[in-house]
Copies of this chain bind each other. A is one copy, B any other.
């Protein structure tokens, strides 16, 4: 809507791929060098862009600070985290927490099977939306026309032979997930990895986040993983209750 801002913001994903010099930025934007320079300077003043010794530009620290604050404002994450850790201690597998936002599903927390969470490790990465259990849970909660619209728009990469192949199959899968209240991904993303997931709901019943447990075949079979389903659902429900304020609320 605003051309100038639009151009300036387009620089960010461009630099996210790696440092670039003025000429490259101008070319990729399709504008004159002097224009690109002014945009970069403005971004620089706000700390979103940093200029290294070789004069190339890359994303600046301010962006990381903002991202940090953005995620801290997602209070689902804060509430869920301790429960995810607890679940990890009980089952030993990797736990993910994801939200849906603007046609994307993003991981916002992760508890590694062996190591403590590292900020910026893989959190923030878009999810394989057509196959991941958490994505199915989040999309299944949308209205029917929304689901249809998104399903039509997506690509259906065949990560494995068990990946969901097309919009029709995806919509049927979402209907199943919506009905049963939990979801799986059995080797649909990586052949040897299975996931089971459950939704986290707000006070109005809407799904605000989804969590999943992932484990490789070599550790537990899909059948064994499914025996954890009650535990996963119970954890999700506990988080839902706390999130919707059934427990004493302290924040303003």
Contact = CB atoms under 8 A, between A and B. Distances in A.
Contact of A124 (B5, B47, B64, B119): B64
A62 B108 CA distance: 11
A70 B64 CA distance: 8
Given A61-B203, A101-B60, A42 B1 contact: yes
Which of A52, A53, A65, A125 is the most central at the interface, judged by chain B CB atoms within 10 Å of its CB?
A65
Interface stretch (A10-18, A21-29, A161-169): A10-18
Chain A interface size, as a band, is: 35 or more
Which of A38, A63, A68 is the most central at the interface, judged by chain B CB atoms within 10 Å of its CB?
A68
Nearest to A203: B61
Contacts of A242: 52-53
A10 B45 CA distance: 11
A215 B212 CA distance: 40
Contacts of A233: none
Contacts of A245: 47, 50, 58-62, 64
CB-based closest 9 A-B pairs: A68-B124, A59-B70, A67-B67, A50-B245, A64-B124, A61-B245, A16-B69, A60-B245, A9-B46
